A = this chain, B = another copy of it.
Amino acid sequence: MNQFLTPGPVFVPPFVLEAINKDVIHHRSPKFQVFYKGLLERLSYLFQAKTVGTMMGSGTFGVASMMYSLFQSGEKVVVVNNGKFSARWVDEGRLQGLEVIELQKKWGEGVSTPEVLDQLDTNVAGVILTHSETSTGVIVDVENIAFAIKRAFPGVLIVVDAITSVGVMPYYHDAWQIDGSIVSAQKALMNPAGTVAFALSDLAVGKLKPSHSGDFRNLYNYIQSNKEFTHPFTAPAQLLYGLDVALASIQGQELPAIWDKSHQSARTFRLGLEKLGGKIYAQPASEALTAFSFENWDMEKIKSRLKSEYGWTLSSGQGKLKGNILRVSHMGTSDRHTMEALLKDMEKMIKP
């Protein structure tokens, strides 16, 4: 059983590593084009979106590219900030010269639709939502917030950091009228870090502008290359093989089954946690991970004992939450059985 349960990078299963361990195909060859065409189709299924693509880089790079490609310096965007990762969008927006309206929430707290709508007017170019905030485990109701925004302000671009939600929970990029979504390989896609995938709406594609062909942050270049099923820059070919088999496995099992696996992992853990007297940190909580604590326990001590005595790897809290919470993943290979085994070992520690 996989005992590596940090909320990304997740455990990379052997079938993915085997795919990566293939002879290199040159990324400027017809063979690569055939391969990449198939990958894009599987990615469309994952995002439930017509227009998709991949880039080499981390989630931070994905965030920056979206900001850079969809908005112009001086434009106004609203960012819901309720954790470390959503805060990144605030920083990146300001760095790029956008006027960022920060809807600041406490860490671990959700946001309501009216709160977001209150920030909007006809001068707002975009709203940025972090669907599942990996630092705290809180979830934002992207579907309903997007629905309300588009009804009131159809021209506003909705960009979603779906880094720990796509492949974990129901996500329908096109049907929910999302304009830009980002996901990283090292989360539900069970791959090594190195690639980031995106989806765009027609509205978003219409806003892309050419800069120069070497501008690696400009999604325009990726969309152009997609037409020939190729990559605008050196493609991370080995990593894309890994991504492709993971996408094929998700498509083979079908998304609802994948979502259900994470759901059951989360439910099992949370029920068991409650029985042990533990507390879930975030409300409402994402199914990608659970951030939790036990009163009167040093959580770092629990983390290190889980590792040394039982072999489990969990993550600490980030920033100001270090020591106060631990985080456990429900993504990728983490399932109900994994959680049952983890809970059994936790019980031995908490109620010896």
Task: List chain A positions with a Cβ less than 8 A from chain B.
Answer: 4, 6, 8-12, 17-18, 20-21, 23-24, 26-28, 56-61, 63-64, 88, 91-92, 94-95, 184, 186, 192-194, 211-217, 233-239, 313, 315
Contacts and interface: CB of A to CB of B under 8 A. Distances in A.
Contacts of A9: 24, 26-27, 234, 237
Given A58-B234, A91-B215, A239 B194 contact: yes
A17 to B, nearest CB: 5
Contact of A214 (B28, B60, B217, B239): B60
Contact of A57 (B11, B20, B23, B56): B56
B60 A57 contact: no
A239 B192 contact: yes
A92 to B, nearest CB: 6
Given A10-B24, A58-B233, A194-B239, 20 more contacts: A4-B24, A6-B26, A9-B24, A9-B27, A9-B234, A12-B24, A20-B21, A56-B56, A56-B57, A56-B61, A56-B194, A58-B236, A60-B234, A88-B214, A192-B238, A193-B236, A193-B237, A193-B238, A194-B238, A239-B239
Contact of A192 (B18, B236, B313): B236
Interface-centre pick from A4, A57, A214 (highest chain B CB count, 10 A): A214
A184 B211 CA distance: 24
Contact of A193 (B12, B213, B234): B234
A27 B4 CA distance: 13
A92 B212 CA distance: 8
Contacts of A91: 212-215
In the A-B complex, list the 8 residue pairs whose CB atoms are closest, starting with the nearest. A192-B238, A91-B212, A88-B214, A194-B236, A58-B234, A193-B234, A194-B194, A58-B233
21 contacts: A11-B24, A20-B21, A20-B238, A21-B21, A24-B192, A28-B315, A56-B58, A56-B61, A56-B193, A57-B57, A60-B233, A61-B216, A63-B214, A64-B216, A88-B214, A91-B214, A91-B215, A94-B212, A95-B211, A192-B238, A193-B235
A280 to B, nearest CB: 22
Nearest to A11: B24
A228 to B, nearest CB: 15
Contacts of A12: 23-24, 238
A69 to B, nearest CB: 13
Contacts of A192: 20, 24, 236-239
A102 to B, nearest CB: 14
